[in-house]
Every structure is written in C-alpha cells, then in structure tokens.
Structure 1
Amino acid sequence: MITLKDITKIYKNGPLEVQALMPLNLSIEKGEFVAIMGSSGSGKSTLMNIIGCLDVPTAGSYELDGQQVQELSEEELAKVRNRKIGFVFQSFNLLARQTVLQNVTLPLMYAGTSREQRNARALELLGKVGLAERVKHRPNELSGGQKQRVAIARALTMNAPILLADEPTGNLDTKSSHEIMALFKEIHAEGTTIVLVTHEPDIAEHAERIITFGDGKVLSDVRKGSGRT
C-alpha cells in the first residue's frame, strides 16, 4: 500500500539546512495498523505529511497504492488526498460555524456528491461513531472526544482505504482517548489501513506494529508477536 524508498527531507531557512528525515526505507502493507512514535522533532510528523501527500520529499520515491506520487500533478494529488486518504488531526480541524452534519459532508461536497447522498452517508457514519443525536450541534457544543468522533466520521466519508491520524488523542482525557482508540480498532477490523502518529506509549500499544523515530530515522520497528523487523 505504502512504499518509501531512500526518502529524505531537508528544510531550508536562509543559509541553514535542517535534515528532518535521513534516507528512509519503509513499507506499510494493506490492512496494517501502524503507530509511529517519537519525541518532538524526531521526524514523525514530517513522515506523516509525506505519506499523506501534504508535503514532498527532498529526494527519494514514494509509491502509494501502485502510483508514484512524485509523478502526480497538483490536481492528481488533490484527488488522491480526497479519495484514498482520510485525515484525523489533534486539533480536530472542524469548521466552527458548521453543524456536525455539515462538517462530515464536506469531503463529499467537494467530490460533487448530491446533497441527499452526502447527508445519508454522513448520518450513517455519525450513527457509527455514536453521535446520531448530535447532528445539528456545532463544534463548540461538543466535548473533545465528541469533536474527534466527528473528525473520524468526516475522514471515513469517502471510504478511503488509508486513515492517517496525527496525535488524535493529544487533546483528550484518558477515558476519551481509549474510546477513540477502540473506535480506530473497529475501523481497522473492517479493513482500513491505519497509520497513527503519537508520543504516548499506551496509545501506540493499540497498534499491531510500532515504529519508533529519532533524529529523522527509524530506531526500531516492532510487530507484535514477531519481534523486531
């Protein structure tokens, strides 16, 4: 599903250069649940942005579901982000003036789906995440855990085969965090490939595979039950 070969990322600030990713080789198979761990500045968020086609590597190649990403135009990349990847962020990224229902329907609206179809899909997903009674509420009327559930429902609207989650429990209390991770497990069990960035070991333990980052490179790559890779 995801193959990175000799990927590097260098950020330039005037004469200064910061190498966020050292030459990196990484494969993630279809249907895996992977946690990427590391402290601030380790390179894990840079890697997530490259996987999500939100940033481009300085060098190397990235194959996503059989496509060479570096060969795609901006329009093609936008289609990949809309149809193949669902995004969940720490800050939820909900539109404050829109209702829960309207927030969830946004990807479908951009895809040109009819209002009737997108509303039906959004209602289905909001029921799945336990928010069927909150469709007319706005984000400021929800708890942190409920906001993240809305964000997850929105990420699922296009039936994307990949779900990327960047610190999805970072703004949540312990109870809400474990509820969100239980929801991710349900989504994974239905066949979705999940890549989750976190700095919390207890959150990473929910995944089947844990990749630990430091100084822009992989320090360890462990699959549960099979030891180090």
Structure 2
Amino acid sequence: MITLTDITKVYKNGPLEVQALSPVNLKVERGEFVAIMGSSGSGKSTLMNIIGCLDVPTSGSYNLDGEDVHKLNEDELSRVRNQKIGFVFQSFNLLGRQTVLQNVTLPMMYAGISREKRNERALDLLARVGLEGRVKHRPTELSGGQKQRVAIARALTMNAPILLADEPTGNLDTKSSHEIMALFKQIHEEGTTIVLVTHEPDIAEHADRVLLFGDGKLLKDTRKGSVYS
C-alpha cells in the first residue's frame, strides 16, 4: 500500500539547511495499523505529510497504492488525497460556520457527489460515530471528543483505503482518547489501513506496529507483542 524508498527531506532557510528526514525506507502493507512515535523534531510529522501527499520529499521515491507519487501533477495529487486518503488532525480542522453535517459532506461536495447522496452518506457515518443527534450543531457547540468524531466521519466519507491521523488524541481528555482509539480499532478491523502519529505510548499500544523515529531516522520497527517505550 505504501512504499517509501530512500526518502529524505531538507528544509532550507537562507544558508541554513535542516535535515528533517534522513534516508527512510519503509513499507506499510494493506490493512496494517501503524503508529509513528518520536519526540518533537524527530521527523514523524514530516513523514506523515509526505505519506499524505501534503509535502514532497527532497529525494527518494514514494509509491502509494501502485502509483508513483513523484510523477503526479497537482490535479492528480488532489485526486489521490480525496479518494485514497482520509485525514484526521489534532486540531480537528472543522469549519466553524458550518454545521456538523456540512463539515462531513465537504469532501463529497469536492468530488461532485449529489447533495442527496452526500447527505445520506454523512448521516450514516455520523450515526456510526454516535453523533446522529448533533447533525445541526456547529463545532463550537461540541466537546473535543465530539469534534474528533466529526473529523473521523469526514475522513471516512470517500471510503478511502488509508486513514492518516496526526496526534488525534492530543487535545482530548483520557476518556475521550480511549473512545476515539476504540473507534480507530473498529475502523481498522473493517479493513482500513491506518497510520497514526503520536507521542503517547498508551495510544501507540492500540496499533499492530510501532515505528520509533529520532533525528529524522527510523530507529526501531516493533510488531505487536513487544513493549512500547
């Protein structure tokens, strides 16, 4: 599903260069649940942005579900992001003036799906995440956990085979975090490939595989059954 070969990322600021990622080689198979861990500045968010086609590597190649990402133009990258990848962010990224229903239907609107079909799909997903009673509310009227449930419903609208989550529990209390991770587990069990960035070991324990990054390098690749630390 995801193959990264000799991926590097260098950020330039005038004469200064910052090596965010040293050569990274990584494969994520279809149906895996992978957590990426590391301290601030370890390169984990940079890697997530490259996987999500939100940033491009300085060198190396990236094959996503059989497509060479480097060869795609902007329109093709937009299609990949819309159809193959669902995104969940720490800050939720909901539109404050839109209702819960409108926020969830947004990716489908961009895809040209009819209003009737996108509303039907959004309502089904909101029921799935336990928010069928909040469809007319706006984000300011929701708790942090509810906002993240809206974001997850939105990420699932296009039936994308990959779900990327960047610190999805970072702004949540413990109870809400556990509820969100239970939802991720359910989504994974239904066949979605999940790649999740976190700095919290207890959140990483929900994954089947944990990748530990430091100084832009993949330091450790641990399968389930080991102790994450």
TM tier relative to shorter chain = over 0.9
Give the secondary structure class of the aligned counterpart of 1:12.
strand
1:61 and 2:86 are equivalent in the alignment: no
CA distance in 1, matches of 2:82, 2:103: 15
Distance (Å, rounded) in 1 between the aligned partners of 2:226 and 2:36: 17
1:79 maps to 79
Q: Tell me, what secondary structure is at the counterpart of 1:170?
A: coil
**In the alignment, which residue of structure 1 is the partner of 2:127?**
127
Counterpart Cα distance in 2 of 1:96 and 1:224:
39
State the Cα RMSD in Å: 1.1
Partner residue, 2:44: 44
Q: TM-score, normalised on structure 1?
A: 0.98
Shift of 1:227: 9.2
Aligned counterparts of 1:103 and 1:66: Cα–Cα separation in 2: 30
Instruction: Provide the residue aligned with 1:194 in structure 2.
Output: 194
Alpha-carbon distance, 1:224 to partner: 1.0
How far does residue 159 in structure 1 lie from its aligned partner after superposition? 0.1
Corresponding residue SS for 1:180: helix
Counterpart in the other structure of 1:154: 154
User: What's the counterpart of residue 35 of structure 1?
Assistant: 35
**Partner SS for 1:148:** helix
Q: 2:45 & 2:93 partners in 1: Cα distance?
A: 16
2:178 matched to which residue of 1?
178
Q: Quick one: which amino acid aligns to residue 171 of structure 1?
A: N
Unmatched runs of 5 consecutive residues or more in structure 2 = none
Separation (CA, whole Å) in 1 of partners of 2:132 and 2:25 = 42
Distance in 2 between residues matched to 1:189 and 1:165, nearest whole Å:
16
Letter matched to residue 104 of structure 1 = V
- 3-state DSSP class of the match of 2:101? helix
Q: Quick one: distance in 2 between partners of 1:148 and 1:227?
A: 28
User: Aligned partner of 1:131: which letter?
Assistant: L
Q: Which runs of 4+ in 1 moved over 4 A?
A: none
2: CA distance between counterparts of 1:226 and 1:100?
39
In the alignment, what sits opposite 1:166? 166
Aligned-partner Cα distance in 1 for 2:24–2:174: 33
Measure how far apart 1:225 and its partner are.
Answer: 3.4
Q: CA separation in 2, counterparts of 1:227 and 1:185?
A: 19
Structure 1, unpaired ranges of 5+: none
Change over 3 Å in CA distance of 1:205–1:226 after alignment to 2 = closer
Aligned mates of 1:89, 1:48 — CA distance in 2: 11
- 1:91 matched to which residue of 2? 91
**Secondary structure at 1:77's aligned position in 2?**
helix
Q: Number of aligned pairs?
A: 228
Deviations 1:156-198 (A, max 9, x none): 0000000000000000000000000000000000000000000
